[in-house]
Structure 1
Amino acid sequence: MRKALIVEDDYRIGMLHEKYLESIDGLESAGHALNAKEMWALLRDRAADVLLLDIYLPDSMGIHLLEDIRHYYPEMDIIIITAATDREYLEKSLRGGIVNYLIKPVTIEKFEQTMKEYLSKRAVLDSVENVDQQFIDDYMAQSSAMKPAADKRKLPTGIDYLTLERIEKVLHEAGGGLTAEQAANRIGASRTTARRYLEFMISEGDAEARLEYGIVGRPERHYYEV
């Protein structure tokens, strides 16, 4: 479960965003800070994976906090949620390493879409140990060609469209069958991750598994594209 810390000086908006978080599987609130001082206090006491940061705070500008946040919490992701529409703020935020930028007012649909995309991208990175250029291209482009199909299929928790696309690709290119370990090696993920995606493909009717005997005579599960 990933935790999101909300930094929003408008109490009502902050509470609304906390309520939005309740509807998203895999994400929960780590608290709500009304200003920069409260934000630093909460960060010292609670772990947070992603910071939902407003730009206009009573004691600081959110974009002025980015450098220090990056210094003290380099592994924490940042999403800006603000009424600021100045291009300058967007550019400074991007240079500060944000992962998204939302303009208020944010509808629940847009909020959920953004946070689910964030969770999906984090899951993709967590599922691999090594990356190649194709993975990076797909990741940076959000795999636009694959995403509508994946959304339409309503992928379950633990299955993201980018990793699924890579598993489908290596299985197709293999021609013959692949074991979970072979598939894992080709996409740079763990065997457990590869097996989960291969079994999902079977449940969707996109692959089949056959028990085949190896050199030592022990049957091993091989996956084939259907």
Structure 2
Amino acid sequence: MEREQFRVVIVDNDPMVSYISREYLARDRRFAVAGEFADGREALRFLRGGGADLVLLELRMPGYSGEELMKDLLENDIHADVIPVTAERSGESLGRALRLGAADYLIKPFTYERFRQCLERYAQRARIAAGLKTADQEAVDHLLHMAQAAAPPADAGSGREQRIMDCFRETPGRSLTVREVAQALKLSDVTVRRYLKRLVDAGRIVSDIDYNTGGHPRILYKLP
């Protein structure tokens, strides 16, 4: 079941960044600001009450850092996802944030498009996870956006990518699975999945989840 709205808490000691985050969030009706804090400890007290689904967090908070807040969320079993929105650029900080469960990582200054991508990926992962009773590998790969972190295919924009697009153009309006495209082109599921994720990210095709299968949900792809 897809939820109506995600409750977001902004934790940042820079009022301008908090304002920008709030304004960008207002452009997406799936998200609503539940609270704004310039102090991490105040945010933790609020979050203990279960008041948020997502935290947009500056890691460089004075006194009580964003990283400390992430650790306390885990230790206190507070179920809120965290996306660092931060000026911290070091690889060590990125690694620590990922080990602490960061759902994404947005470096200041950021564009609206990159902010929007964070929200879109978060909403899609949450939607898939909420609908899963059991998971197969395709659903897990889609959930984690493995292909997005991988290097782009060597012939991106031509060759196989063009052949995959032709599959959809030959059957306009029809949704296809990874397996159907792979069989039509005599390619592996893994290869096709990478290209499909790339095409989704580029907006050339769209994906959806079919839960009405009587078993594992399926990822479906079609032209916009």
The offset of 1:149, in angstroms, is: 4.3
Identify the match of residue 215 of structure 2 among 185, 195, 205: 185
2:204 is the counterpart of 1:163: no
Identify the match of residue 125 of structure 1 among 103, 106, 129: 129
The offset of 1:101, in angstroms, is: 0.8
2:193 is the counterpart of 1:147: no
| Max Rg structure | 1
CA contact (8 A) 1:33 1:42 kept: no
* 1:93 alignment partner in structure 2: 97
Please give the alpha-carbon distance, in whole angstroms, between the structure 2 residues aligned to 1:185 and 1:30. 36
More strand by proportion, 1 or 2? 1
Paired amino acid for 1:145: Y
The offset of 1:41, in angstroms, is: 3.1
* 2:58 alignment partner in structure 1: 54
* 2:27 alignment partner in structure 1: 23
Identify the match of residue 37 of structure 1 among 23, 34, 41: 41
2:131 is the counterpart of 1:81: no
Q: What's the CA shift string for 1:74-109, capped at 9, x where partnerless?
A: 421110111111111111111111111111011111
CA spacing shift, 1:138–1:16, aligned 2, 3 Å? closer
Please give the alpha-carbon distance, in whole angstroms, between the structure 2 residues aligned to 1:118 and 1:14. 19
Segments of 4+ moved more than 6 angstroms: none
> Which consecutive residues of structure 1, in runs of 5 or more, have no partner in the other structure?
156-160, 168-179, 189-193, 206-226
Provide the alpha-carbon RMSD of the alignment. Answer: 2.8
The offset of 1:184, in angstroms, is: 3.4
How many percent identity over aligned positions? 25
* 2:138 alignment partner in structure 1: 134
> What TM-score comes out, normalization by structure 2 length?
0.67
Q: What's the CA shift string for 1:199-224, capped at 9, x where partnerless?
A: x98xx89xxxxxxxxxxxxxxxxxxx
CA contact (8 A) 2:13 2:38 kept: yes
The offset of 1:187, in angstroms, is: 2.3
CA contact (8 A) 2:48 2:78 kept: no
- Residue 52 of structure 1 aligns to a residue whose secondary structure is strand
The offset of 1:2, in angstroms, is: 0.6
Identify the match of residue 70 of structure 2 among 61, 66, 69: 66
User: Which deviates further from its counterpart, 45-54 or 111-120?
Assistant: 45-54
CA contact (8 A) 1:138 1:162 kept: no
Please give the alpha-carbon distance, in whole angstroms, between the structure 2 residues aligned to 1:28 and 1:144. 32
* 2:173 alignment partner in structure 1: none
- Residue 115 of structure 2 aligns to a residue whose secondary structure is helix
Please give the alpha-carbon distance, in whole angstroms, between the structure 1 residues aligned to 2:126 and 2:194. 17
> Which consecutive residues of structure 2, in runs of 5 or more, have no partner in the other structure?
148-192
